[in-house]
Structure 1
Amino acid sequence: MFHTTIQPRVSETDGVGHINNTTIPVWFEAAREPIFRLFMPNLSFNDWRMIIVNMNVDYLAQVYYGKPVEIVTWVKKIGNTSFVLEEELTQEGRTCAKGTATYINFNQTTQKPEPIPPDLRSQLKQHQKQR
C-alpha cells in the first residue's frame, strides 16, 4: 500500500465551505505517483504506459480546508494487461471518499494494450491489500 498526505488549499474550497468534489479525483491521481514510477521510473511522457480506462469515486463525508488528508492506495486486482487500484481518503480519522481506478499497460507506439511484464506484476502484488 502507498500512503500520501495532502494539505488542502484555499483554492480547492468551494462556496459551501468544503473541498470541491472535483478535487478528490485529482488528489487520488496524485497519490498514484509511486505506481506510475513502477511503470515509468523517470515519469517521462515519452515512456508513458499507464492509461486510465475507468474511475469511480464515492463521496462519504465532507473534506475541509486547513486539515491534512491521508490517501491510501493499494492494488485490488491484477489482470493480463490491466489492474485495478483502490483508494481511500481520510481526514481526522474519518473516511471521506473511496474510489477505484482501472489502468491498462499501453504501448504508445502500437496503440495497443500489452501484457504486464512479470517484474511489474511482482511489484504490483507487493502492494495488494491483505484481507
Structure 2
Amino acid sequence: MSDLTVVISPRFYETDAQGHISNVSIVGWFEAARTSLLTRVLADDVSSQVQWMLANVNIDYLAETYFGSDVTIVLDKVTVGNTSLIMDCVMTQEGRECVRGRAVLVNIDPDSRKKQPVSDELRRKIQGLLPEG
C-alpha cells in the first residue's frame, strides 16, 4: 500500500482567509498523488508520462484541513479502462477523513492528440502496484 500513499506537509501559504487549507491546494495535492503514481509506473519511459489528459475531477470536502499537521493521501482504487485510468483517493489528517476525490485520465496519442488504448504492458505495471483483491 505504501506505493499508493503520499504524505503532504501543509504550508502556511496554502491556507485561506478562514484559516483552513484552500480547496485549490487540495486539488493540487490530489494531482501530486496521481503524478507520483504515474511516475513510479512510468519511470523508465518519461515520454509516456505526458500521454495522459485529465478528463474529469470530482472532489468531496468532508472536513476542514488545517496547517500544522501532515495530510496522508492514499490512492485507494485505480481502475484501468480501455483508454483511461480512474483514480480514487482519500485524504486524512490526524485520523480524520477530510477529502475524497476521483480523477479520470485519458491516454492520448502524442501526435494525433486522440485517445488511444492503454497498452497491455502499462496495464500490467499499474495493476502490479495495486493491492490484491
Specify which structure has the higher proportion of strand.
Answer: 1
Which of the numbers 81, 93, 96 marks the counterpart of 1:94?
Answer: 96
In structure 2, what is the Cα distance between the partners aligned to 1:77 and 1:58?
A: 19
Preserved CA contact (<8 Å) 2:38 2:49: no
Bigger CA drift: 75-84 or 16-25? 75-84
- State the alpha-carbon separation in 1 of the partners of residues 127 and 84 from structure 2: 13
Return the letter of the residue paired with 2:12: V
Q: Is the 8 A contact 2:76 2:90 kept in 1?
A: no
Q: Which residue of 1 aligns with 2:62?
A: 60
Q: How many residues align?
A: 130
Q: What's 2:35 paired with? A: 33
Find the residue that maps to 2:78 and give its secondary structure: strand
Please give the alpha-carbon distance, in whole angstroms, between the structure 2 residues aligned to 1:13 and 1:104. 31
SS of structure 1 residue aligned to 2:16: coil
1:12 Cα deviation after fit:
0.6
| Cα separation, partners in 2 of 1:76 and 1:42, compared to 1, 3 Å | closer
Question: TM-score if structure 1 supplies the norm length?
Answer: 0.88
Distance in 1 between residues matched to 2:49 and 2:97, nearest whole Å: 35
Gaps of 5+ in 1: none
Which deviates more from structure 2 when the two are superposed, residues 68-77 or residues 88-97?
68-77
1:13-57 deviation per Cα after TM superposition (whole angstroms, max 9, x unaligned): 11111101111110000111233222464645x861111100000
Structure 1 residues 47 and 72, CA gap change in structure 2 (3 angstroms)? closer
Q: Secondary structure at the match of 2:90?
A: strand
Contact 1:87 1:99 in 2 (8 A): yes
**Residue identity matched to 2:94:** E
Q: Which amino acid aligns with 1:20?
A: S
Gaps of 5+ in 2: none
After superposition, the C-alpha distances for 1:58-80 in whole angstroms (9 at most, x for unaligned) are 00000000100000014432211
- CA–CA separation in structure 2 for the residues paired with 1:58 and 1:43: 31
**Aligned equivalent of 1:19:** 21
What's the % identity of the aligned pairs? 36
Contact residue 74 and residue 129 of structure 1 kept, 8 A: no
Q: Which has the higher helix share?
A: 2
Q: In structure 2, give the amino acid aligned to 1:49.
A: Q
